[in-house]
């Protein structure tokens, strides 16, 4: 029996464990296996294989029972999940059902999740912009939150590393506030977007640039992408279904298959991580406790290093639940800051307008991308009555209009002859929220989920800084659209729209220079448990205004490289 036990432990022992298989977890798996480490990837959801498990990807609109719309029954049963922009009938199987994974909303918060291999990398919006040094400098400059322990120079080579492999389309724009990257050919702006770009250059002397968005689409694949088995983006704009061509980056089409080719990867779906095991005699983590999603049986797996990539809020939950005599309040939580200083991006408001020109032109085909307005407020110095700033998406379309005023034959003729209307544009704000101690997550003391794990209690809200930023966005964009010749300008704010639908929550296990004010060092190691690395959104000290996934990828690749080097010299 003793020998059988030894064999069992050996079969459950790896050199590295990665918790989560989404964007950052996939990158951890790729980097660690690529460096020769036998790596176990734990995913709490079901297995999803590239192409094979995209059941709706080739379906036509008329093949859906509700023509692509979510049914009333689904919306009634899933009021949170159904509010997500990407959750439609063709993708609802990738979204967590509300009743199956409850959480406590101490303040209203729409927690959008995708529990399957690949996580939300299957449904993400694919915007990918680098941070600049200005973004890293923000907290130190205004004194809100703590200073970042790294800067742009630390991350720049890792941005290049992940961009080349993932495939990012974009234009070399030469902007100090938005550094250029390793780009594939960009998508094309529409004529109205180009007009707006030109007008911004004319009226603001280059201080408010408008560019084509940078996104993770293979506009022209390179050999490294073909080697992954991926093909060119077909511009179908059905990305939330899973792309059978691998035209956009996901863990399923890219990093996980690449890791599997090394022969060093073990992928275990249906594995709900309960907690990380801390050995007080060794003063390090030795593995993780895992509950089988179906049998509810708990099993322990062991490794020399653990990467926590369960997505921001779940990573906080796992660490808070990793309690021991040494860490009664959660792993590494000597300073009591674990779960605090959660931040997000404010997507609450939009603006729309019309342009009466370009009536000889309309769009041709579909483009899975739009234009982008980089942050232009408080970049170099503080200049407004609110802290930090906002970026904005900017898109255009030209709809058809139908005269429905007639009757009988006149109405029929009108319906058969729709006419082109004015060009219309929409812009959404992506505002940086300030990390605050009052924005936090904790474990509910009594409520548990189906696996006996405490439910997460979320207390996150907007503040006065967010309200001031929204007003400034309305004022500045109204002015910018007006000087560019747009008409019928309308602002749309939804104060009752809860945080969470941005799906950009970050923080709770923030990086920093001082163990008294942060949880992680500059290499994403827990200050108090050096062989545990946190490299998903939970590690972020501040949010800036860029879509965060590219930064998660770069931080993960950098930390994985450091972890391997530390293992080789016996430092972890």
3-state secondary structure 491-542: EEECCCCCCCCCCCCEEECCECCCCCCCCECCCCEECCEEEEEECCHHHCCC
Confirm whether 510 is domain-assigned: yes
Q: Both 147 and 291 in a single domain?
A: yes
* pLDDT, position 365: 74
Kindly give the pairing relationship between strand 419-420 and strand 345-346: unpaired
More confident residue, 35 or 410: 35
Percent of the chain with pLDDT over 90: 93
* pLDDT, position 165: 98
Q: Is the pLDDT of residue 2 over 70?
A: no
Rounded Cα gap, residues 87 and 82, in angstroms? 6
Mean of pLDDT values over 212-227: 98
* pLDDT, position 458: 98
pLDDT band at 4 (very low <50, low <70, confident <90, very high): low
* pLDDT, position 58: 97
Confirm whether 84 is domain-assigned: no
Q: Both 259 and 240 in a single domain?
A: yes
Q: Is the pLDDT of residue 416 over 90?
A: no
Rounded Cα gap, residues 483 and 471, in angstroms? 19
Q: Both 34 and 141 in a single domain?
A: yes
* pLDDT, position 283: 96
Q: Both 163 and 184 in a single domain?
A: no
Of 498, 524, 542, which residue constitutes the final position of a domain? 498
Q: Both 160 and 176 in a single domain?
A: no
Q: Is the pLDDT of residue 403 over 60?
A: yes
Q: Both 142 and 44 in a single domain?
A: yes
Mean of pLDDT values over 492-505: 95
pLDDT tens figures, 50-69: 999 999 999 999 999 999 99
pLDDT tens figures, 227-277: 999 999 999 999 999 999 999 999 999 999 999 999 999 999 999 999 999
Q: Both 137 and 236 in a single domain?
A: yes
Domain count for the chain:
2
Residues contacting residue 499 through CB under 8 Å, at least 6 positions apart: 108, 109, 110, 344, 346, 433, 460, 461, 462, 505
* pLDDT, position 144: 85
User: What is the average pLDDT score of the chain?
Assistant: 96
* pLDDT, position 127: 97
Confirm whether 559 is domain-assigned: yes
Q: Both 271 and 401 in a single domain?
A: no
pLDDT tens figures, 520-552: 999 999 999 999 999 999 999 999 999 999 999
* pLDDT, position 401: 86
pLDDT tens figures, 122-176: 999 999 999 999 999 999 988 888 999 999 999 999 999 999 999 999 999 999 9
Q: Both 222 and 304 in a single domain?
A: yes
pLDDT tens figures, 306-361: 999 999 999 999 999 999 999 999 999 999 999 999 999 999 999 999 999 999 99
* pLDDT, position 405: 85
Q: Both 253 and 311 in a single domain?
A: yes
Q: Is the pLDDT of residue 1 over 80?
A: no
Q: Both 376 and 336 in a single domain?
A: no
Domain assignment of residue 177, given as a range: 171-213+345-432+462-498
pLDDT band at 366 (very low <50, low <70, confident <90, very high): confident
Confirm whether 80 is domain-assigned: no
Confirm whether 99 is domain-assigned: no
Q: Both 349 and 428 in a single domain?
A: yes
pTM listed for this prediction? 0.97
Residue 528: give its domain's CATH number.
3.50.50.60
Confirm whether 90 is domain-assigned: no
Rounded Cα gap, residues 246 and 235, in angstroms? 12
* pLDDT, position 3: 57
């Amino acid at each position: 029996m003793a020998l059988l036990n030894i064999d069992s432990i050996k079969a459950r022992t790896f050199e590295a464990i990665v918790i989560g298989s989404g964007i950052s977890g996939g990158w951890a798996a790729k980097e660690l296996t690529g460096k020769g480490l036998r790596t176990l990837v734990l995913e709490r959801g079901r297995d999803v294989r590239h192409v094979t498990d995209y059941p709706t990807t080739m379906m036509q609109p008329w093949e859906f029972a509700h023509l692509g719309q979510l049914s009333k029954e689904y919306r009634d049963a899933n009021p949170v999940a159904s509010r997500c922009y990407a959750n439609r009938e063709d993708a609802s199987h990738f979204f967590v059902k509300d009743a199956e994974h409850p959480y406590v909303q101490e303040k209203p918060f729409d927690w959008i999740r995708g529990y399957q291999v690949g996580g939300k990398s299957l449904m993400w919006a694919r915007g990918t912009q680098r941070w600049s040094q200005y973004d890293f400098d923000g907290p130190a400059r205004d004194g809100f939150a703590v200073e970042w322990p790294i800067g742009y120079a630390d991350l720049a080579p890792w941005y290049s590393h992940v961009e080349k492999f993932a495939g990012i389309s974009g234009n070399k724009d030469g902007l100090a506030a938005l550094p250029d990257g390793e780009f594939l050919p960009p998508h094309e702006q529409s004529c109205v977007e180009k007009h707006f770009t030109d007008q911004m250059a004319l009226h603001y002397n280059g201080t408010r640039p408008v560019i084509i968005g940078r996104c993770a689409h293979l506009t022209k694949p390179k050999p490294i992408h073909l080697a992954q088995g991926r093909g060119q983006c077909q511009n179908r704009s059905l990305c939330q279904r899973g792309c059978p061509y691998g035209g956009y980056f996901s863990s399923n089409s890219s990093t996980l298959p690449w890791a599997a080719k090394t022969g060093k990867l073990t992928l275990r779906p249906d594995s709900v991580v309960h907690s990380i095991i801390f050995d007080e005699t060794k003063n390090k983590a030795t593995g993780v406790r895992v509950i089988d999603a179906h049998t509810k049986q708990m099993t322990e797996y062991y490794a020399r290093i653990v990467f926590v990539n369960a997505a921001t809020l779940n990573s906080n939950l796992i660490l808070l639940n990793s309690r021991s005599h040494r860490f009664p309040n959660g792993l590494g939580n000597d300073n009591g800051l674990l779960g605090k200083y959660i931040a997000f991006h404010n997507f609450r408001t939009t603006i729309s307008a019309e342009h009466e020109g370009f009536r000889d032109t309309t769009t041709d085909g579909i483009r899975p991308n739009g234009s982008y307005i980089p942050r232009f407020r408080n970049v170099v110095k503080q200049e407004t009555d609110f802290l930090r700033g906002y970026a904005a998406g900017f898109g255009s379309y030209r709809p058809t209009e139908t005269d429905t005023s007639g009757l009988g034959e006149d109405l029929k003729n009108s319906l058969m002859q729709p006419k082109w209307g004015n060009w219309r544009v929409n812009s959404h704000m992506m505002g940086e929220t300030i990390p605050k101690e009052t924005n936090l997550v904790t474990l509910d003391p009594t409520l548990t989920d189906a696996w006996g794990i405490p439910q997460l209690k979320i207390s996150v809200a907007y503040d006065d800084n967010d309200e001031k930023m929204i007003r400034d966005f309305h004022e500045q964009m109204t002015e910018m659209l007006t000087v560019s010749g747009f008409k019928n300008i309308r602002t749309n704010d939804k104060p009752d729209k809860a945080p969470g639908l941005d799906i950009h929550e970050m923080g709770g296990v923030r990086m920093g220079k001082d163990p008294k004010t942060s949880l992680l060092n500059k290499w994403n190691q827990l200050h108090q448990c050096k062989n545990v690395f946190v490299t998903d959104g939970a590690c972020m000290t501040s949010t800036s205004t860029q879509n965060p996934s590219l930064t998660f990828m770069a931080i993960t690749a950098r930390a994985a490289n450091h972890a391997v080097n530390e293992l080789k010299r016996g430092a972890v």
